[in-house]
Structure 1
Amino acid sequence: MAGGSGPLDRVRALCLALPETTERLSHGEPTWFVRGRRTFVMYAERHHDDRVAFWCAAPPGAQEALVAEAPGRFFVPPYVGHRGWLGVWLDVPVDWAEITEIITDAYCVVAPKRLTAGLGG
């Protein structure tokens, strides 16, 4: 991946590759927005514990299914978990193809349909 090989660099590259996305700090962590307004991914580096993760919007039912299937890789994040957001641990072995799909799905949940056409989310 261009721009670095650490988890933050990789998440950043995936998020910024999507149409009309921007990054800025929110609550002290890198956060990505669609058209500068709608949050779709929030990075969480040791935010509440000594873990590295990101939190993202998720399609209906995805949070419950993924957390039940692989609780060592996925979790219900604080603050936004009640809205169906998904937490993804990045301090465990990571399948970056799967992370790409999860981030694309998060984008598709919040972005206008015109921007998501052809993304497959």
Structure 2
Amino acid sequence: MTEMLDRIREAVKVLPEVDERTTHGEPTFFVHDRQFAQFRDDHHGDGRTVLCVRTGSSDEQAMLIEAAPDTYSLPAYLAAKGWVAITLTGDVDWTLVEDRIARSWELAAPRALLEAGGR
């Protein structure tokens, strides 16, 4: 678990104006007080290790889950807001994880930060 969280932290630290806080007992990442990623390990005893990230819409959420159900799933509490959970067990595609982190950051970041150059 620590190695996975360390890799996520490495991907997050290259993004501007990010801070990490514990939310609901889980390491959670914010840009300007807007949550964009949450690492979950056995969240409420579900036995899964995932990273929850934003998607652009419920259509994108559905498309990701349909295209790669072994990688993406609906996260508890966040699914209704269009988020997906990325499975972090087995053979993890870290390039994909890093890309989804960056995309989620872009969806959460304020327009002024994006217009100033973002990432």
Q: Name the TM-score, length of structure 2 as normaliser.
A: 0.88
Residues 50-89 of structure 1 mapped to structure 2, 5 A cutoff:
50-60=47-57, 61-89=59-87
Deviations 1:13-72 (A, max 9, x none): 11122000000100001000002x100001101113111101111112321111001111
Structure 1 unmatched ranges of 5 or more: none
Which one-letter code corresponds to 1:114 in the other structure?
A: A
CA distance in 1, matches of 2:111, 2:90: 33
Which one-letter code corresponds to 1:30 in the other structure?
A: P
Deviations 1:53-112 (A, max 9, x none): 011111123211110011111101111101110110001211111111100110011101
Are the equivalent residues in 1 in contact too, given 2:21–2:27 (CA < 8 A)?
Answer: yes
SS at match of 1:72: coil
Change (3 A) 1:108 1:50: same
Instruction: Determine which of 27, 41, 53 is the counterpart of 1:45.
Output: 41
Structure (1/2) with the larger helix percentage? 2
Residue 115 (1) aligns with residue 113 (2): yes
Are the equivalent residues in 1 in contact too, given 2:16–2:118 (CA < 8 A)?
Answer: no
Structure 2 unmatched ranges of 5 or more: none
Which one-letter code corresponds to 2:17 in the other structure?
A: E
Identity %: 34
> Aligned-pair distance for 1:113?
2.4
Where in structure 1 do 4 or more consecutive aligned residues deviate above 2 Å? 113-120
Are the equivalent residues in 2 in contact too, given 1:73–1:92 (CA < 8 A)?
Answer: no
Q: Name the TM-score, length of structure 1 as normaliser.
A: 0.87
Range moving further from structure 2, 25-34 or 59-68: 59-68
Which of 1 and 2 has higher RCO (CA within 8 Å, sep 6+)? 2
Counterpart for residue 94 of structure 1: 92
